[in-house]
């Protein structure tokens, strides 16, 4: 695709950017077309503060361990006040992979280590633009964990996820929830309800064709609504009228 010309070079420290990222469709297609022998990957980019429903994700990963299955590997990229608490709970549950950072960190290279490849939860910390792009490319679904009472309508990360062709699992509801339903580009779960999040994950794991279709739909959503070249033109017309 050539409509998204900006990369994630303007990503904020919390993992969100002011511009929708460029996703190289041929690279994404190639990376996800091979026969999968590893779990699917779910990614979260951004702040890990109290206004986000992250502990429910850890609870679901612990449930998978108890069930003896491993349909998804969870990837967190970012920082915040709840990060150490999340790490501690993941470690307590035996889910954690310790990430060793190099000067040029690569999520994919890290996952090739035996310890990281078998982990249920991976905390990458703050990532630079190239590593963020790489993490998005190797992921299958994305997480929007803003709580419904956060007063957020549609976070920047939703545009980033959609541009990368990632269906979203969200507890935000509201405007974003309506978009995901209209475009069939994701699923919703109830904030703090591990059973509903567990069901949302398993729905993708058991229905690969639905996941494939929603990846296509997410990209179409980004092209239609999150391309700044288009939206800025519409905004300028609205202001001038």
Contact yes or no for 188/180 (Cβ under 8 A): yes
106 against 209, higher pLDDT: 209
Structure confidence at residue 5 (pLDDT): 33
In angstroms, what CA-CA distances link 175 with 23, 181, 193? 24, 10, 21
Q: What are the structural domains, with CATH classification, of the chain? A: 38-240 (3.40.50.2000)
Chain segment 52-63, per-residue pLDDT in tens: 999 999 999 999
In the block, residue with structure tokens 């202001």 = 239
Of 36-50, 172-186, 222-236, give the lowest mean pLDDT range. Answer: 222-236
User: What are the two backbone dihedrals, phi and then psi, of residue 3, each rounded to the nearest 5 degrees?
Assistant: -80, -25
Helix, strand or coil for residue 204? Answer: helix
102 pLDDT tier (thresholds 50, 70, 90): low
**% the chain with pLDDT above 70:** 72
Does 6 have pLDDT greater than 60?
A: no
Structure confidence at residue 25 (pLDDT): 39
Q: What is the spatial distance between Cα 156 and Cα 170, in angstroms, rounded to a whole number?
A: 14
Quote the pTM value.
0.79
Q: What is the spatial distance between Cα 120 and Cα 73, in angstroms, rounded to a whole number?
A: 5
17 against 101, higher pLDDT: 101
30 against 87, higher pLDDT: 87
Of 35-39, 52-56, 200-204, give the lowest mean pLDDT range. Answer: 35-39
Per the prediction, the chain carries an average pLDDT of 81
Does 204 have pLDDT greater than 50?
A: yes
Chain segment 207-236, per-residue pLDDT in tens: 999 999 999 999 999 999 986 555 444 434
Structure confidence at residue 105 (pLDDT): 72
The alpha carbon of 131 is separated from its chain's Cα centroid by a whole number of angstroms, namely 14
Q: What is the spatial distance between Cα 126 and Cα 234, in angstroms, rounded to a whole number?
A: 34
Chain segment 107-160, per-residue pLDDT in tens: 777 676 665 666 789 999 989 999 999 999 999 999 999 999 988 889 989 999
- Sheet with 96-97, strands from edge to edge, namely 96-97, 121-125, 72-77, 40-45, 141-144, 168-170, 186-188
Does 11 have pLDDT greater than 50?
A: no
Q: What is the spatial distance between Cα 63 and Cα 103, in angstroms, rounded to a whole number?
A: 35
Rg from Cα positions in the chain:
17
192 against 106, higher pLDDT: 192
């Amino acid at each position: 695709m050539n409509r998204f010309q900006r990369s994630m070079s303007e990503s904020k420290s919390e993992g969100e950017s002011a511009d929708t990222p460029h996703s190289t469709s041929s690279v994404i297609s190639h990376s996800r077309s091979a026969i999968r022998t590893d779990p699917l990957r779910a990614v979260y980019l951004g702040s890990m503060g109290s206004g986000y429903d992250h502990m429910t994700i850890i609870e679901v990963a612990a449930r998978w361990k108890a069930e003896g299955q491993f349909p998804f590997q969870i990837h967190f990229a970012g920082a915040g006040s709840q990060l150490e608490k999340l790490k501690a709970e993941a470690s307590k549950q035996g889910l954690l992979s310790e990430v060793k950072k190099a000067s040029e960190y690569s999520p994919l290279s890290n996952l090739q280590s035996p310890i990281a490849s078998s982990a249920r939860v991976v905390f990458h910390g703050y990532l630079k633009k190239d590593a963020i792009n790489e993490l998005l490319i190797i992921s299958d679904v994305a997480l929007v964990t803003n709580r419904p009472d956060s007063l957020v309508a549609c976070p920047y990360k939703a545009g980033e996820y959609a541009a990368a062709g990632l269906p979203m699992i969200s507890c935000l509801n509201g405007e974003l929830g309506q978009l995901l339903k209209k475009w069939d580009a994701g699923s919703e779960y109830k904030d703090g309800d591990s059973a509903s999040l567990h069901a949302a994950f398993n729905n993708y794991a058991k229905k690969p064709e639905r996941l494939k279709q929603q990846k296509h739909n997410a990209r179409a959503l980004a092209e239609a609504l999150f391309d700044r070249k288009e939206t800025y033109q519409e905004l300028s017309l609205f202001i001038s009228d």
